[in-house]
Structure 1
């Protein structure tokens, strides 16, 4: 769980002696960044003024009927256990936060089949917003560069569980606040607040396993997950980013595996995820010879889908999320399941699953609507049925 220091990787011994002060780099001093208000930019801050909250943002969405519980499709399961059984109670009840719901503003006029809702959840370390079927999760510890702590990982897992179980969420965006994505373990915090406290092996194993739920949810939840990497990304933060389906980074973002620098062998399945996308010899070099690398290098090594200017990251990721959320929801869920199965399943096991999914998605109203819209040369209107 290594993290970035001021210009170089932080020395573990020196990190523990640091006072709890916000980190301000020379670049940040020249171009200050702050976290947006709850109703602000979906992705949080970027460099310059483009990513800052300029005022309320209207949510314009598709009309989708409010399905009764009996008509809603059962969510896919993880390891043959219902998803919510693995993640515990919904985030709102578990954390005692307040759900704020507002009617959707329909700029095209007329009444929707149901009133879409915009949901916001605020908490100390993680922010959760839903706008028009796209959920944005913002890691909100800017004074610690969004570094990982025990409470932070528990809260993040609960928020991810809420997004995974929400039928109205189709895409999940993960980003950071304050110009950082996530710099890994908070080595400057008291031992009892860390996942790896060194108090006892049993205790640490329990907390690290709890934190590992985050990467499993990002990878296996039945929603498309996107990382908007707006700044420094290292150690456990790199694992979180690699666990998503799609990864876009600002051109100013810097990366580091950093685990060996902190004297540990690594967690958050960072090695596993990196091994799925990058060449084996490059993965070994990244983790055995840790050093900082740029977004351009991460793209070259297949760790990213694209690199965009920092002030365009929010709009770019939002555009991708909206494009995906416009497709038929069941077809998208089945497509993600196909992609995950293709990573490890032999063809003999993969094919029957693919066949079941394509038949299931073909026997939906959305599939009929897609064919009709194609023949009528118009945009389809999917309802999730």
Structure 2
């Protein structure tokens, strides 16, 4: 008996004793104190029953191990691409950026449950690669709702997609998501969907770099303003039909969550910007809901007076009209700046800024760390843009 137990123990996991669980008809004949194999060994009147059950358990375990060994693919005969070559493993949760690693991580069971207790199973988000050339290639997202059924874009239409923030300006960072990295990953997904529909796409950045070239020299604009101005200039030089800036929100309250899309009403094409914002907003909410994750719809919003400085209204820089900044304001914001009034350049096309969920919300952040939701967010942005382009004529050169 002890020899049989020893052989069975050699096959059983060391951290979990093998249990001799009898079939239901026999359960009534075995005292509860004898349910473990050790108790069986010390109870002579049940040695035979335990031995038979042990032989069955050992046989099943050996057959299972042989089946696994025989069914496993021959990895040496069929080499597979290294994960780091296409999609590196996601980094672990981080409160801030980490060099060379994506802060988009797999949701923990608790985070996934908080995001949606009844939602389908989710997987890890593909990491952001860093090829030598500095470009990142992301496969086109899955399309359960059939975005490919939309009419392809005819003619030459150009969309500039702007992944917000970069370098030391990380944006919002909480709950395992760093915004600048999430924005870049999302922009690449949107680009893949738009390109598949015949849209020419230009990104303001394809790596963790600023949009302007060369070293920063203190001058009229702060380094942030110079970066934002370079993104606007790229869109204007591309003669883009629309400009779409991608961000995620942050708040001091963990209760703030959802999606919102901004436009500016103080532009000559404000009606077109509002239409674009409305289409993007509704499409994003619909796409995410369609995969089983209802999100809060915060609506399309006018940012004409979003921020105030000494009683003045300041919209988001990439959406607003050209503005004159006085020398005193420049020096107050950046003591190294020149005290000379400066006029910014505005976008020459309809523009929107999408805030895709709140990284400060544990439930929203769990969604941002979920592959199927990120695909849905990207599809939503792309669908809204495609519907807009199909309704409007191309911009004149």
TM-score band, normalised by shorter chain: under 0.3
Which has the greater radius of gyration?
2
Q: TM-score, normalised by structure 1?
A: 0.22
Q: TM-score, normalised by structure 2?
A: 0.22
